[in-house]
Structure 1
């Protein structure tokens, strides 16, 4: 392995994913914290800018969004489901692995809570998110995101 500013990098072909060192893990957590604060504060353009120019986003409802502008527009439309409530995106059980090309493959559980003006709080179905992150001149960016709802996963398992 060779050492870089972002920790050890696999050098031999066939090594597969490698867990990242603590400093990179923290950098990924900080990236997600900033990304979700943009989304939860309705800065949809800022949220879209956290994706690479060719970034791909596959939301839980299906379909494919490509590029920051399409992702930002879809996020703004999707926020309508909160009906004026304040959303909070919560992430946990984060794993981060570096692949041979240097990209980071992450997986985590997420839930969105929405608090209405009267104090009612509702939770959307929990999901599993899988991202590919890359470093750019501007720092970490999402190259791809795929979201799978747990109720959809459970229904698929029940059919098998």
Structure 2
């Protein structure tokens, strides 16, 4: 099936789009499995991670991994499991082997022995870079629905391309 888009919209090839979706599937399953360090390895060495609802920008794999490890450990202590669901992914070329993506992400949270519930709804913007045939996240900006933006952090959304 051929994807169609308005004539003024840049799109990636069908093969690149499929590879990006496959990257996201594996990437987020690492996070949901509690493998923060492996998940952070899928950022560039100088990768950037920011959220509009939380102060501070994480720079570099080590800082990104440490921040996520802290969160994962806190969830485990509380007996919670989180699952992320990405959808409505758009991908636009931004240079040789560089793609900007935008997608919705919802996060479900389930307490041990309990019922799942919707925890969070977000929009995310990534800059992905292909190195040696693999996609890496150069920058990620997550905008929590309903949250106020922390001044200055929104500039991360345009970083890296």
Taking structure 1 as the reference length, the TM-score comes to 0.80
Q: Mind listing any 5+ residue stretches in structure 1 that lack a counterpart?
A: 1-15, 155-160
Instruction: Report how far residue 78 of structure 1 moved.
Output: 1.9
Does residue 54 of the first structure (1) align with residue 85 of the second (2)?
no
Residues in 2 aligned to 1:123 and 1:109: alpha-carbon distance in whole angstroms: 14
Match of 2:100 in 1: 105
Match of 1:10 in 2: none
Instruction: Report how far residue 138 of structure 1 moved.
Output: 6.1
Instruction: Report how far residue 120 of structure 1 moved.
Output: 1.7
State which drifts further: 38-47 or 114-123. 114-123
Match of 1:40 in 2: 32
Indicate conservation of the 8 Å contact 1:87/1:115, yes or no.
Answer: yes
Residues in 2 aligned to 1:120 and 1:67: alpha-carbon distance in whole angstroms: 36
Instruction: Report how far residue 100 of structure 1 moved.
Output: 3.1
What is the CA deviation profile of residues 115-144 of structure 1, one whole-angstrom value per residue up to 9, with x for unaligned ones? Answer: 121132122220000000001126110000
Q: Which has the larger radius of gyration?
A: 1
Corresponding residue to 2:130 among 116, 123, 135 = 135
Give me the CA root mean square deviation.
2.0
Give secondary structure in 2 for the equivalent of 1:125: strand
Residues in 2 aligned to 1:121 and 1:76: alpha-carbon distance in whole angstroms: 22
Does residue 29 of the first structure (1) align with residue 24 of the second (2)?
no
Match of 1:67 in 2: 60
Residues in 2 aligned to 1:103 and 1:111: alpha-carbon distance in whole angstroms: 25
Residues in 2 aligned to 1:153 and 1:109: alpha-carbon distance in whole angstroms: 18
Residues in 2 aligned to 1:114 and 1:73: alpha-carbon distance in whole angstroms: 21
What is the CA deviation profile of residues 86-136 of structure 1, one whole-angstrom value per residue up to 9, with x for unaligned ones? Answer: 211101111000013441000000011011211321222200000000011
